[in-house]
Amino acid sequence: MGLRAYIIKRIIYSFILILLIILTNFIIFMLMPGDPAAFLMAGYRGEGKETLEKHLQELREQWGLTDPLWIRFLKYLRNLLTWNFGLEMVGQKPVAQVMMNRIPYTIFLLGSATIIAIIIGVLWGIAVIYKRGGTFDSASVLLALIVNSLPTFWMGMMFLLIFYKNLQWFPGAGPFPREWAIGGRPIPYTVDIASSSNVLNIAFNFNLQEAWRLVEGYLWHAFLPLFTLTIFFFGGWLLLTRATMLETITEDYVITARAKGLKERTVLIKHALKNASLPLITSAALSFGFILSGAIITEAVYTYPGLGQWTWVAIEYRDHTVLMAIFYVIALCVVIANVIADLLYGVIDPRIKYG
């Protein structure tokens, strides 16, 4: 079987997987008890139980909760396939639009955290291999294990305690300074306020100072979540680099390279790292697939309006529509990342034979 046949097989398989995911997704949220209408109306202070019941019924009908199951499934399928996920149950905004507003935050946060973590982790891993077997080695491994097992929300709380409450270096919540919100209202960091209009502003009347102010504001607010996530991620990369390079440095070609009298640094980077990079690259591809699902806790700690925080809010309100859409998009990303990782294997390593 050649490469082409393999690719076709992978793609067909991924399609089946996606269909299965769509089905599972629907089943999970069908099972979900808790009436979103009741959740929304929990704060109802109007008069009379009948009125409340009437309101609830209206809401259920509006959200299509009273339809038979198969109609709901068809609607759901249509929504997913047309990328028009319907309206949020609670906010009554188009899910697709809200998602488009929120995804940049998540991608920015997790994408940069992942990239920084990979760079730090891999470099540190090489350094550890360079001085393997010593105190530095075991201390680094221990550190990586510890940061990997620390609860992220606690790290977040500690950073808030230190850098926000006590030192007041960084802000505690939100993706941009409070003053930027419409009318200076402090509370809802609704995303659509900032991103689209500000970006348009920059595009149309470009002003370097203004643009820098904008970038600075965003970066300043993203620092703590970014820091937390980077610390949380880098340990895994350190361990992975160390493990794969430990495999390769016992190989014959490394011994040969040493025998040739090459410097240890050259041996490690040109010979060992290159050969160890295969699992690193594929797991990088996989971790980018998980970017969209990664930061529910961190975003909740720092009130960062990405997909994770949205998921949390949607779970609180039992907002099926939103959750189905999020799960679908995340699963889609993971599947695609898997396919890419598989293909990368073939491109990078010519020894791999498909079959």
- CB-based burial of residue 145 (10 Å sphere; 0-12 exposed, 13-18 middle, 19+ buried)? middle
Question: Minimum distance between the CB of residue 114 and another protein, rounded to whole angstroms?
Answer: 15
Q: How far apart are the first and last CA of the chain?
A: 5
Kindly tell me which of 194 and 296 has the beta carbon lying closer to another protein: 296
CA–CA gap between residue 189 and residue 176 (Å, rounded): 8
Question: Minimum distance between the CB of residue 28 and another protein, rounded to whole angstroms?
Answer: 7
The residues near 248 (Cβ < 8 Å, ≥ 6 apart) are 254, 271, 272, 273, 275, 276
Kindly tell me which of 49 and 261 has the beta carbon lying closer to another protein: 49
The DSSP letter of residue 121 is: H
Question: Minimum distance between the CB of residue 204 and another protein, rounded to whole angstroms?
Answer: 37
Q: Interface residues with another protein (CB under 8 A)? A: 16-17, 20-21, 24-25, 28-29, 31-34, 45, 132-133, 145-146, 149-154, 157-158, 160-161, 165, 246, 250, 290, 292-293, 296-297, 300, 308, 311-312, 315-316, 318, 323, 326-327, 330-331, 334-335, 338
Question: Minimum distance between the CB of residue 208 and another protein, rounded to whole angstroms?
Answer: 37
Kindly tell me which of 56 and 286 has the beta carbon lying closer to another protein: 286
Kindly tell me which of 84 and 148 has the beta carbon lying closer to another protein: 148
Give the DSSP H or E segment for 302. none
Kindly tell me which of 80 and 323 has the beta carbon lying closer to another protein: 323
Question: Minimum distance between the CB of residue 124 and another protein, rounded to whole angstroms?
Answer: 18
Question: Minimum distance between the CB of residue 216 and another protein, rounded to whole angstroms?
Answer: 25
CA–CA gap between residue 302 and residue 308 (Å, rounded): 11
3-state helix, strand, coil split of the chain in percent (to 5) is 75, 0, 25
Kindly tell me which of 200 and 243 has the beta carbon lying closer to another protein: 243
Residue listed under structure tokens 């008069």: 47
Instruction: Report helix angle 320-348 to 3-31, nearest 10.
Output: 160
Instruction: Report helix angle 191-204 to 95-130, nearest 10.
Output: 80
Question: Minimum distance between the CB of residue 274 and another protein, rounded to whole angstroms?
Answer: 20
201: left (phi over 0), alpha (psi -120 to 50) or beta: alpha
Kindly tell me which of 108 and 153 has the beta carbon lying closer to another protein: 153
Q: Choose among 151, 154, 158, 188: nearest CA to 173.
A: 188
Contact 335, 18 (CB under 8 A): yes
Question: Minimum distance between the CB of residue 165 and another protein, rounded to whole angstroms?
Answer: 5
Kindly tell me which of 69 and 203 has the beta carbon lying closer to another protein: 69
The residues near 15 (Cβ < 8 Å, ≥ 6 apart) are none
Give the DSSP H or E segment for 21. helix 3-31
